[in-house]
């Protein structure tokens, strides 16, 4: 039996496309302070954050997961890294006041406020084309890895890696035996999280389009997110 060998992997190349690619918040990703930005359902957006600036991410429907990524302004090779965060925190969960670190173990993002019950995930890789194919999808399915790639391309940035995201509001409880469940978020409409940049960085947010498991709610469709600079 022969099996098709996949094409060589190119990190920055999406497996498909959606309107993320043509809708940056501005050509260079610099936001206007005080302006609310919409991330339509199933899409992503990138924005530049200066050291000391805060980013508020809002969950209007309450059941929507935000895959959050950050790469340093100095180098796309240094990025917010969940595996390094787990070591730094000594936990597999996060809480307000935590400082999230890069793959060089430098603090990059601090969780300064959280109106939700604080259930988030730092274990699970971003959904991607292959994940949906393995779940039984025959056609292209929007995914967070491609939203990350397209959000960055839309502001002229080329990623060197697709990191494991900080999955805000994603509820993946570890259960008996070390397994985990794919559960619905416990956040409520208009919950928000405030993240402060400890260094200049590029933040990427994806309104996760996962609709083949329960991570974006049961009986609910993937929904929009809103973000702004400042509180
Ligand atoms: Zn996703």
Cα 44 to averaged position of ligand 1 atoms, centre (Å): 10
Residue 111 within any structural domain of the chain: yes
- Count of C-beta atoms within a 10 Å radius of residue 230: 12
Residue 28 within any structural domain of the chain: no
Strands 201-207 and 44-49: antiparallel
Domain that holds residue 116: 45-229
pLDDT computed for residue 74 by the predictor? 93
Per DSSP, what are the bridge partners of residue 168?
66
Residue 84 within any structural domain of the chain: yes
Cα 43 to averaged position of ligand 1 atoms, centre (Å): 10
Residue 76 within any structural domain of the chain: yes
Spatial distance between the Cα atoms of 66 and 64, rounded to a whole number of angstroms: 7
Domain count for the chain:
1
The position carrying tokens 């960055």 is 152
pLDDT computed for residue 4 by the predictor? 76
Cα 1 to averaged position of ligand 1 atoms, centre (Å): 33
Cα 90 to averaged position of ligand 1 atoms, centre (Å): 25
Cα 205 to averaged position of ligand 1 atoms, centre (Å): 10
- Count of C-beta atoms within a 10 Å radius of residue 161: 16
Question: Where are any strands of DSSP class E within the chain?
Answer: 37-39, 44-49, 54-59, 66-72, 99-101, 107-114, 166-168, 191-197, 201-207, 225-229
Residues of the chain with pLDDT below 50 are none
Cα 67 to averaged position of ligand 1 atoms, centre (Å): 6
Spatial distance between the Cα atoms of 27 and 99, rounded to a whole number of angstroms: 29
Longest Cα separation, the chain: 59
- Of 77, 79, 80, 118, nearest to 96 by C-alpha is 118
Cα 124 to averaged position of ligand 1 atoms, centre (Å): 10
Strands lying side by side in the sheet with 166-168: 44-49, 201-207, 66-72, 166-168
pLDDT computed for residue 105 by the predictor? 98
Spatial distance between the Cα atoms of 32 and 206, rounded to a whole number of angstroms: 19
Which residues touch 90 (CB under 8 Å, ≥6 apart)? none
What is the helix (H) or strand (E) element at residue 145, kind and residue range?
helix 144-153
Cα 209 to averaged position of ligand 1 atoms, centre (Å): 5
Cα 167 to averaged position of ligand 1 atoms, centre (Å): 9
pLDDT computed for residue 168 by the predictor? 98
Residue 25 within any structural domain of the chain: no
Structure-block tokens of residue 162: 């697709």
pLDDT computed for residue 2 by the predictor? 56
Residues in the chain: 231
Residue 98 within any structural domain of the chain: yes
Structure-block tokens of residue 117: 């019950």
Cα 99 to averaged position of ligand 1 atoms, centre (Å): 23
Cα 129 to averaged position of ligand 1 atoms, centre (Å): 10
Residue 130 within any structural domain of the chain: yes
Spatial distance between the Cα atoms of 37 and 225, rounded to a whole number of angstroms: 8
Residue 112 within any structural domain of the chain: yes
Cα 145 to averaged position of ligand 1 atoms, centre (Å): 7
């Amino acid at each position: 039996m022969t099996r098709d060998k996949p094409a060589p992997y190119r990190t920055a190349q999406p497996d498909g496309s959606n309107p993320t690619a043509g809708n940056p918040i501005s050509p260079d990703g610099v936001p206007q302070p005080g302006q609310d930005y919409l991330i339509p359902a199933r899409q992503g957006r990138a924005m530049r954050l200066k050291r000391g600036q805060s980013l508020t991410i809002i969950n209007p429907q309450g059941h929507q997961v935000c895959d959050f990524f950050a790469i340093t302004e100095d180098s796309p090779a240094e990025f917010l890294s969940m595996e390094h965060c787990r070591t730094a925190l000594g936990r597999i969960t996060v809480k307000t006041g935590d400082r999230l670190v890069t793959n060089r173990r430098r603090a990059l993002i601090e969780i300064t406020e959280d109106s939700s019950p604080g259930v988030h995930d730092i274990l699970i890789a971003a959904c991607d084309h292959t994940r949906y194919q393995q779940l039984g999808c025959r056609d292209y399915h929007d995914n967070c890895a491609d939203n990350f790639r397209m959000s960055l391309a839309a502001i002229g940035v080329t990623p060197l890696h697709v990191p494991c995201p900080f999955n805000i509001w994603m509820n993946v409880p570890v259960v008996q035996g070390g397994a985990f469940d794919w559960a619905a978020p416990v956040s409520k409409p208009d919950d928000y999280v405030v993240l402060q940049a400890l260094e200049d960085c590029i933040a990427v947010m994806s309104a996760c389009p996962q609709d083949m498991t329960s991570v974006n709610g049961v009986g609910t469709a993937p929904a929009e997110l809103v973000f702004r600079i400042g509180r």
